[in-house]
Structure 1
Amino acid sequence: MRSQFKPRVRKLALLVHVLFGLAWIGFEVVVMLLALTGVTTDDPRVLHAA
């Protein structure tokens, strides 16, 4: 099966796809850390901020 994109466009699309995936994973890690901080803290200000 022949690719519909030129090699340069295909590489750019792959790069954008990988970067977006890494950014999404990073976002999820930050959300998880905020949730864990909110669950484990006793300080009401930290809980409110998290």
Structure 2
Amino acid sequence: MRKILPLEEGDFYLSPEGYKVFTAQYHLKRGYCCESGCRHCPYGYNRKTNKQD
């Protein structure tokens, strides 16, 4: 079971459409790549090739 992390300032922002967008800060704090093609993925995951750089 994965641990739920409390959100802190700088972990996300709201897009113009109102969606919550997680930042690289949050992804690094989480500690793993979810392979969803996140906009700010610090792990280098490429959704098109299904690989991490």
Task: Report the TM range for the smaller structure's normalisation.
Answer: under 0.3
**Larger helix proportion, structure 1 or 2?**
1
**Larger strand proportion, structure 1 or 2?**
2
Larger Rg: 1
Normalising by structure 2, we get a TM-score of 0.20
Normalising by structure 1, we get a TM-score of 0.21
